[in-house]
Amino acid sequence: MTKYTVKKYDQNDYTIWNDFIAQAKNATFLFHRDFMEYHKDRFEDFSILIFEDQKLKAVLPANKVGNLVYSHQGLTYGGLVYKEETKLTSVIEIFRDLLFFLNEHNFEKLHFKTIPSIYHLKAAEEILYSLFLAEAKNVRRDSLSVIDLEQEKSISKVRKRGLKKAISKKLVIKEESNFEPFWNEILIPNLENKHNVIPVHSVEEMQFLKSHFPENIHQFNVYLDDKIVAGTTVFETETVAHCQYISKDQNKENLGSLDFLFHFLIHERFAHKRFFDFGISNENNGKKLNQGLAYWKESFGAGTIVHDFYEVETSNYNKLNSIFV
């Protein structure tokens, strides 16, 4: 007998979903339906709502592929979202009933990505204990390079030299609402030349997201004599400033443009945040580390926070029965 009522999201749930996200202790604007659905043509949504006596208790942003359900593959992070008053025992029971629901609907496994702790408004790792009880398998671990902005910031000598050089070159930083210069002149050419890939987001998608989340999405460009030479796209949450894209003109190696930009972002623009997140330096599902990239981020004073991904068989719901003493 299940305690909670579990249902698949539909468009009629738009308001109740977004209202819940706004009140949760481990959610960010990425879980708002307007953000999740900008690329709905790429993913078959299978987001979940979980109720107790008609009161919404938790949600899971998700999509499905065949008989598998994934923490939404279009989001950087994800997982079970719940409010501060939801205690550990309840999270375990919610997760059990979620797995039972998926199993009853013939889904074999749930691929579950967590929400890194730096994005939590309050301690919210109840789900990690629930995953342990369900014998979930850790299938991927990324390393995030993060600066704790409440601690003393240490920066390497090479970064300081770059900053001095940028100041001497009279570089200028601008926060802009137009993503085209950075995308077309810096980011796309660099990704094509280095990795033969394109950005996850198109210019049009970024403009759309910026229009819906103007307080959360920012574009910072660096200019030399009115010509763009570097930039970064920042996603801002209540606790974190996260760099979604970072790139510079590869023909302008000795300007110190990124040293100049990140000194400004870390020490001025986002100094009021709890954390500054440079993102991952991993490839191959966390099995490979870009050593140079990781070192570059650490030279600004960043340390490491891990981001875990799990795989759990839905039939393991029964492992969450009879665990309380």
Provide the β-strand partners of residue 307: 142
Taking Cα atoms as reference points, which of 110, 108, 93 lies closest to residue 319?
Answer: 93
Residue spans in the chain of domains classed CATH 3.40.630.30: 5-141+307-320, 151-273
Quote the CATH superfamily of domain 5-141+307-320: Gcn5-related N-acetyltransferase (GNAT) (3.40.630.30)
Q: What pLDDT is stored for residue 184 in this prediction?
A: 96
What's the predicted TM-score (pTM) here?
0.95
Element (H, E) at 263: helix 257-264
Tell me the pLDDT band of 1, cut-offs 50, 70 and 90.
low
How far is the CA of 284 from the CAs of 203, 206, 281, 288, in angstroms? 26, 26, 11, 6
Cβ proximity of 190 and 247 under 8 Å? yes
Distance CA 57, CA 96 (A): 14
Residues 238-268: tens digit of each pLDDT? 999 999 999 999 877 789 999 999 999 999 9
CATH architecture of 151-273: 3-Layer(aba) Sandwich (3.40)
Q: Residue 185, CB half-sphere, CA atoms under 13 Å: how many?
A: 17
Res 211 pLDDT > 80 = yes
Q: What pLDDT is stored for residue 153 in this prediction?
A: 81
Residues in CB range of 50: below 8 A, 6 or more apart: 4, 5, 6, 56, 57, 58, 59, 60, 94, 97, 98
Q: Across residues 119-148, what is the average pLDDT? A: 98
Residues 85-102: tens digit of each pLDDT? 999 999 999 999 999 999
Residues 50-78: tens digit of each pLDDT? 999 999 999 999 999 999 999 999 999 99
Strands 137-148 and 275-280: antiparallel
Taking Cα atoms as reference points, which of 19, 25, 218 lies closest to residue 115?
Answer: 25
Q: What pLDDT is stored for residue 194 in this prediction?
A: 82
